[in-house]
Structure 1
């Protein structure tokens, strides 16, 4: 999705694409990852969008209810993200350093960019190339993006060979191929038996 959105932004598309972290929260809270559920939900959304009364019903829901739902959903999103650390060895000083350092800089660097923009009315990157300034200032003003970049770079450069087991990569081996787990057949097969024409790898 990330690469697709990047290409959409570079070349433009007839249909927009978006990445929604809310899906992670829903997946974590419902424990349902089947495509059939998505297809049925899409049918309901199309049906409800045609009838204006249903839209009015949803619009009448108080904002406090939406706020409560968002609190639960984004809390689960954060917890699901942290739950991936269960596969790593958190007794390893290497892993503790990577997690702590990336979280700290993920909060510190965007805060610096935010305060700089407030005072100077432009970001720390202010060259003659406006597009470059926008890229740098946007990327480094996002805490998750900064933390992700730092964590990925450190995890793939810092003592990689000696810490192979500590990284937890062996837990993901069976999910690298479609046939690695029996549940993949249910979750990720294409609808309407299209796997005959597009076999999974």
Structure 2
């Protein structure tokens, strides 16, 4: 009614309680090409997480993080990626940059809040019905939240330019190249896929 589609948990085919366990999808398999692709994805996640750590510290009005703290965060992220592989999530773990925007919006940067939220996520991940509630949230609502959160994330990234010498040609090249490639490469992939019906990269990866 009125263009709103309501999907029940029964239609999503979710069970009431499901406890994940390691190797639930079978024994792991190793492929050099897929391993290299995940290594590159992990490297991208490392860079993304480093920027998110610094943005969160700035939005929380905390002291600048020393390299040892950044290394510790990246190390624990590596442990999370390893655990993700053991549980067969098919993707690694990365810092959610949306949380940086949420912190800027709510001005709540307490570690206790993050710890309690993590506990809730672990507990409710076992309850399939609870996950079905989030899966039934309309996409326009999620898109609206993303527009709000990423506005703060983008502003946080641009605020780092105040520490750069914008009169330097090296800084100008890095800034211009990053903006140009960030806008042109996704557009190229979109146009290529729209015209040919498939992407320009053929990896031969196997999806289950």
The interval holding the TM-score normalised by the smaller chain is 0.3 to 0.5
TM-score after normalising by structure 2: 0.44
The structure with more radius of gyration: 1
If each structure's helix is expressed as a fraction of its own residues, which one has the higher value? 1
TM-score after normalising by structure 1: 0.46
